[in-house]
């Protein structure tokens, strides 16, 4: 029986593995590594986040359309063609899914508040910038969820977390009104009452706005802010 070494396999041409130095000496050149079929840590993280967002987007649309208590995770899972345990794996139970949805909407508003504070111009200009973003955000799915879902649906700890974010947003509104009064771009008024009035008016579109309507969320937001701030400008 022939040994493996004796079998007539063609000899491998290893010349590609070698390089010639000017002196005649040779060195071995490493072969290029094949691309790994396994995903990198960054790719795995990106994929996981995409799946989490897909669940959150499906859930928030159902919460807004049906109500939190009338929506089950089975409904959400079925809409995505996945199992309920998959949702538990990525997000947790139904309350945790809701908290994530509410937090996304709140964080969008807080980011808009931060941008307004560094906005150039008078106090009224900064106030208008924030109010426009505020109204637009409250017409997207995550913003609407904060308006349409009562905090009573949450556990005490989750309720307090959301409430603290809402207080920060209310404080920003008051500060911007007060800054406008101080620089003369806003008529003298009570900042607390003005902030409550503005917020209440701009929460309304979350209930009646239709995403498939003729006007974009941004256009509606700008028009509403024009109406509201006309009464704040000095006469």
* Neighbour count for residue 55 (Cβ, 10 Å): 22
pTM over 0.85: no
Whether 128 contacts 229, CB under 8 Å: yes
Question: 141-174: per-residue pLDDT in tens?
Answer: 999 999 999 888 889 999 999 999 999 999 999 9
Whether 28 contacts 17, CB under 8 Å: yes
Q: Structural domain boundaries of the chain?
A: 94-209+216-230
Question: 37-60: per-residue pLDDT in tens?
Answer: 887 888 778 888 999 999 999 999
Instruction: Tell which phi-psi region holds residue 186, choosing left (phi > 0), alpha (psi between -120 and 50) or beta.
Output: beta
Protein fold of 94-209+216-230: Tetracycline Repressor; domain 2 (1.10.357)
* Neighbour count for residue 54 (Cβ, 10 Å): 13
Largest Cα–Cα distance in the chain? 108
198 CB-side CA count, 13 A: 32
């Amino acid at each position: 029986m022939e040994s493996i070494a004796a079998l007539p396999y063609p000899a491998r041409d290893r010349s590609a593995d070698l390089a010639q130095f000017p002196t005649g000496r040779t060195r071995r050149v490493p072969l290029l590594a094949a691309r790994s079929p396994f995903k990198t840590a960054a790719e795995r993280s990106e994929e996981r986040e995409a799946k989490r967002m897909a669940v959150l987007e499906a859930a928030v649309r159902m919460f807004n359309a049906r109500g939190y208590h009338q929506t089950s995770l089975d409904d959400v899972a079925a809409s995505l063609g996945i199992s309920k345990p998959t949702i538990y794996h990525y997000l947790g139970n139904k309350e945790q899914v809701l908290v994530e949805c509410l937090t996304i909407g709140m964080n969008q508003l807080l980011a808009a508040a931060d941008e307004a504070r560094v906005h150039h111009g008078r106090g009224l200009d900064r106030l208008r910038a924030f109010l426009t973003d505020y109204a637009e955000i409250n017409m997207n799915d995550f913003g609407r969820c904060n308006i349409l879902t009562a905090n009573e649906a949450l556990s005490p700890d989750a309720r307090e977390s959301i409430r603290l974010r809402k207080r920060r947003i209310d404080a920003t509104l008051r500060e911007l009104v007060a800054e406008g009064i101080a620089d003369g771009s806003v008529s003298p008024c009570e900042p607390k009452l003005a902030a409550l009035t503005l917020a209440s008016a701009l929460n309304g579109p979350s209930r009646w706005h239709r995403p498939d309507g003729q006007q974009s969320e941004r256009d509606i937001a700008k028009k509403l802010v024009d109406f509201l701030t006309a009464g704040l400008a000095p006469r």
